[in-house]
Structure 1
């Protein structure tokens, strides 16, 4: 009986701690949805999932990099940069460690009104989908890619004038953008359900 009460109390506290965070994210998301808030978000030492029916972008580059968590630990990632991107039916999900609780954001459910991002940068550990590149260049020096963000001199990289990914599924450590416009935004708590 005591153990059960203690478990309920801990879960209750965790839920209470989540409420202000969700409220803050919700308030920021309204500004983001209106295109008025520059966005830079990272999940500290925790990966999250992103999916989209389709990503269309111009000005693409990719190279190896490192993401740092709050404790300063370094995590190897593949860094992708896209100058301008649109995403159809975007989903982002993250789970609360050790609990049947998560957070899910969906947007751009109407193909006529997709999610829009500028200067998008993603630090990922896994990517799946069907990709089409326009004017691709493979094996360029990471410090010379055509995007504003660049890698280290001497590192292997690729870039292209355009990119399209159908059936996008990725596991990410960080995502940032100069502006993220989320049409038809829906943010909700879940029982740990993920985008894929």
Structure 2
């Protein structure tokens, strides 16, 4: 079991909290506390080239559970477990609020924001939250669906590799196809 001295906190960004949300976070907290990184999680279930991660200098990691929980073992290890916080975001029109677990001080900190990159709505909400807390967001999107979404990120997980977006030719209409082919060749 992870020996984590910090207690998970539920911090509401807005003032409303429903019983359903409270129960969800109690469940998520129970799951987080039960993870055994040494034995139970099948490491490298996703064979992802994470070399680019070593080039990213950050103070904290903000994970969006619905978008990246199944990839958590790619990003979380014993060296950074104390830097992790979770934010549940509801980008739909129903105002259920956005909630943070294990709130960390973000002022003047570089925060690696990790989320799936479908529409970009949750990424934009989380980015704004980090900035409002005085932090500097570094965005890593998981499987961006379009070039326009890709352009709002600093890093992207595409197929089985993390890329620095600045090094990609996002104006190339065939960029994703070329990256897929490159990844398939490397995995042979």
TM-score (norm 1): 0.27
| RCO higher in structure (CA 8 A, sep ≥6) | 1
More strand by percentage? 1
Q: TM-score, normalised by structure 2?
A: 0.28
Q: Which has the larger radius of gyration?
A: 1
More helix by proportion, 1 or 2?
2
